[in-house]
Amino acid sequence: MRILVKLGTRLLTKPEGGLDSVRIDRLAGEVVSLLEEGHEFLIVSSGAVEAGRQGLGICPGTMDIRHKQAAASIGQTDLMNAWRQGFASRGRMAGQILVSSSDFALRSSYLNIRNTLNTLLERGVIPVINENDTVAVEELKFGDNDRIAAIVTVKVDADKLILLTDVEGLRSSSGELVKEVNEITPEVESWACGKGSECSSGGMGSKIQAARMVSRLCGIDTYVAQGSAEGVISEIIKGSNPGTVFHGGKSVLPHRKRWIAGMTPAGSLTLDAGAVRAVLEKNSSVLAVGITGVGGDFTEGDPVSCLGPGGEAVALGLANFSAEDIRKIAGCNSSSIKDMTGGCLNEEVINRDNLVIV
């Protein structure tokens, strides 16, 4: 089985600050014993910013983007060193992969990352992935590692996504641990309240979004569990569910659509109710006539988010035209577009093959 395990900041750092190297060593040991049973592992590891914060002498919760980037440049080396030692002491190698959202925008770099990951896995090396925090500015950031974990999971065709955190799993509004989620409904989403803490970027909300992405794009299960419990990864692989499992759907999308799904939108198109229905129910392309608004300043080929009339995200796709051109043709039918533009623009603003439901 190919498994992606994501570990959150609060799991890998100590409450008083700095890395929890004892825990990282224990987790590395668990991964190595499972590798010996024939499984393959990829790790998405948070903790760089918090690990470097102390070195900069900054108090928790007071860091702006500049300081986070500086902290990450210090902390990433410590983090990687802790993983390297944990694996090397058991005869294994770790490979560092730092990604930023722009690396996923170009099809060629997306494919390069996939090739590198597959090559490391073939050679028995454990890829340890994190966001390239030192180069990504706020608007170009993935934001949290749950999202990176989901994108990489669908990219490498992993069989399971395991998100380890410092809570047992998802709790319903009555406080009960939810063992299984078959469908991510608005009610399920409402159970995720806010962010984790001042030192972590995600929270249950971003875990639910990650589960939704892998379920929709490649139909696999996502587990959320408490990583401080010893043996939790083995338990999950052997079939138990110590926390919450989000069951995968039935669909497995082609890799081109998975690539699009991992992109960060450069702008948005608001669709009317009829266009939303056509996209969701008939797998239609987005036509100019159904567009009621254009947000942002994107160019031809950029990823754009398609929103419903109430502003809810419906789909993500690659625009055939720039924002400026779409503003000219929004709401128009094909014959008036032809007249207006002398035939240089057409009604199809996003082709269905470049469109992914979110």
Q: Give residues in contact with ligand GLU (CB under 6 A).
A: 9, 46-50, 130-131, 133, 144-145, 200-202
Nearer of residues 57 and 310 to ligand GLU, judged by Cβ: 57
Nearer of residues 151 and 275 to ligand GLU, judged by Cβ: 151
**DSSP assignment, residue 265?**
P
Residues paired with 316 in a beta bridge: 305, 356
Specify the 3-state DSSP secondary structure of 227. Answer: coil
Instruction: Give the Cα-Cα-Cα angle 233, 358, 291 (nearest 5 degrees).
Output: 170
Q: Are 160 and 232 in contact (CB under 8 A)?
A: no
C-alpha to C-alpha distance for 229 and 225, rounded to whole angstroms:
9
Question: Minimum Å distance from CB 313 to ligand GLU?
Answer: 20
C-alpha to C-alpha distance for 315 and 304, rounded to whole angstroms:
9
Residues paired with 268 in a beta bridge: 295, 305
**261 token code pair:** 């799904």
Question: Minimum Å distance from CB 31 to ligand GLU?
Answer: 18
Question: Minimum Å distance from CB 181 to ligand GLU?
Answer: 21
Nearer of residues 163 and 357 to ligand GLU, judged by Cβ: 163
Buried b (16+ CB within 10 A) or exposed e, 27-50: bbebbbebbeeebbbbbbbbbbbb
Nearer of residues 9 and 101 to ligand GLU, judged by Cβ: 9
**275 token code pair:** 């266009």
Question: Minimum Å distance from CB 142 to ligand GLU?
Answer: 8
Sequence letter at residue 322: S
Question: Minimum Å distance from CB 210 to ligand GLU?
Answer: 10
**DSSP assignment, residue 139?**
G
**DSSP assignment, residue 288?**
G
Nearer of residues 145 and 222 to ligand GLU, judged by Cβ: 145
Nearer of residues 96 and 336 to ligand GLU, judged by Cβ: 96
Residue 303 dihedral angles phi and psi, to the nearest 5°? -75, 135
C-alpha to C-alpha distance for 259 and 245, rounded to whole angstroms:
25
Instruction: Give the Cα-Cα-Cα angle 39, 22, 238 (nearest 5 degrees).
Output: 30
Q: Are 260 and 351 in contact (CB under 8 A)?
A: no
| Residue 98 CA, distance from chain mean position | 14
Question: Minimum Å distance from CB 327 to ligand GLU?
Answer: 35
Nearer of residues 66 and 123 to ligand GLU, judged by Cβ: 66
Nearer of residues 200 and 320 to ligand GLU, judged by Cβ: 200
Q: Are 333 and 348 in contact (CB under 8 A)?
A: no
**DSSP assignment, residue 232?**
H
Nearer of residues 243 and 290 to ligand GLU, judged by Cβ: 243
Question: Minimum Å distance from CB 260 to ligand GLU?
Answer: 22
Question: Minimum Å distance from CB 13 to ligand GLU?
Answer: 9
Question: Minimum Å distance from CB 224 to ligand GLU?
Answer: 14
